[in-house]
Structure 1
Amino acid sequence: MSAENGKNGTPDTQAGPRPEPLRFYGTTWVHHDDGYTARRAGLAFGSLAVAAAACFVLRFAYQGLQIADIGSFVSLLMIVMFAVCSALAFRHTWAAFTRRPDPDRQASLRGLLAIGFVGSLLAYFLRTFTEAPGEKLHREEYEKAREEYERRITRRTGNPSKKHRRK
């Protein structure tokens, strides 16, 4: 760790563990400063707008299938596929805000999550009403690291090389 925090070359006064930055929020989630509330509102609106635009694009894809006249079974299959994938992506994304996902499971679900991206966007949108998505998980990890750090530094009681040893 360096003695500077990277902002204007000013010295860092906080010793110990540093909070992990969240995407779009940085470390503003720690003290809810530097436009945290405005970011939450903007990202809520943005994720909802992107989800609506994605649904609009999916509607064009569905209309393309209808124009191609490939049959009602394939059209129904596409609707069910996007609905199920979106529901699974919503559930997986929502759960990832409260606990770290397993990297192997995450890799195996990558295709499903890509298909169900609308569900992920809606989970992000709904989560911004209570906190920055992932804030609870990061706050728990940060507070645990701070507590462990505090326990380690308070346990030390001076220079161990100057202790008198009994013979």
Structure 2
Amino acid sequence: MSDEEQTPGTEQTPSATAGGPQPEEIRFFGTTWVDHTGHYALRRVGVAVGSLAAAVAACFVLRFAYEGLEIADIGGFVNMLVVVMFAVCSAIAFRKTWEGFTRRPTDPRREESLRSLKAIGFIGSLLAYFFRCFTEAPGEQLRRTEYETSRAQYEKRRNARTGNPAARKKPKRK
């Protein structure tokens, strides 16, 4: 693939073109997180601004929904339940999204069962993306740890196989 054919965010880094394990792409960043090239800082700012803007827009939508409940005059208890539900779901979504940036889920079935809860609390997930962009690309720490581990294992295996096996001394038989 030539430089002109590559899509933004999938620039090949020097370590990615060498043999061995390839870095995993991150949404909006491709493989630029490996060596912070390809407008990496600008992408982080863009993701932060975009996630914050989406969170603010979502808050306005929820406000209009809440006003619809008030117009329907269904009662203060239901209004309170809706507010508490969105607050709790947003807090859980924030925590689970934040944890997902640093480690893989240990129980995929549990993550699957929390999917609807995270969808309701999508504002929490958007805020987690916003705050994570201040330090790194969301998920960069996890991917970097995995990539460096796989590179070290690859180098260890590669160095262990150097030389011509036929030229090695054969052990003496007793």
Tell me which of 54, 60, 77 is aligned to 1:56: 60
Distance 1:13 1:20 in 2: 13
Secondary structure of 1:45's counterpart equals: helix
Q: 2:35 aligns with which of 21, 31, 38?
A: 31
For structure 1, the residue ranges without an aligned partner over 5 or more in a row are: 1-5
Partner residue, 1:138: 143
Task: Give the TM-score taking structure 2 as reference length.
Answer: 0.88
Q: Deviations over 1:41-67 (max 9, x none)?
A: 011000000000000000000000000
Deviation at 1:7, TM superposition (A): 3.8
**Partner residue in 2 for 1:68:** 72
User: Which of 46, 51, 54 lines up with 1:47 in the alignment?
Assistant: 51
SS of equivalent to 2:43: helix
Residues 94 and 69 of structure 1, relative CA distance in 2, 3 Å threshold: same
Output the amino acid matched with 1:154. N
Matched residues, number: 161
Is 1:149 matched with 2:157?
A: no
The alignment's C-alpha RMSD in Å is: 1.7
Report Cα offsets for 1:72-129 as digits up to 9, x if no partner: 0000000000000000000000011000023211100011000000000000000000
What is the rounded CA distance, in whole Å, between the counterparts of 2:91 and 2:133 in structure 1?
A: 18
AA in 1 matched with 2:44 = R
Amino acid at match of 2:25: P
> TM-score normalised to the size of structure 1?
0.91
Corresponding residue for residue 108 of structure 1:
113
User: Residue 146 of structure 2 aligns to which amino acid in structure 1?
Assistant: E
The amino acid that maps onto 1:76 is M
Q: Alpha carbons of 1:137 and 1:53: their partners in 2 closer, same or farther (altered >3 Å)?
A: same
In 2, the alpha carbon distance for the partners of 1:57 and 1:151 equals 54
Displacement, 1:143?
Answer: 0.2
Aligned to 1:117: 122
| Distance in 2, Cα, partners of 1:158 & 1:44 | 50
The percent identity for this pair of structures is 63
- Structure 2 counterpart of 1:30, one-letter code: V
Runs of 4+ in 1 over 4 A off after TM superposition: none
1:21 aligns with 2:25: yes
SS at match of 1:77: helix
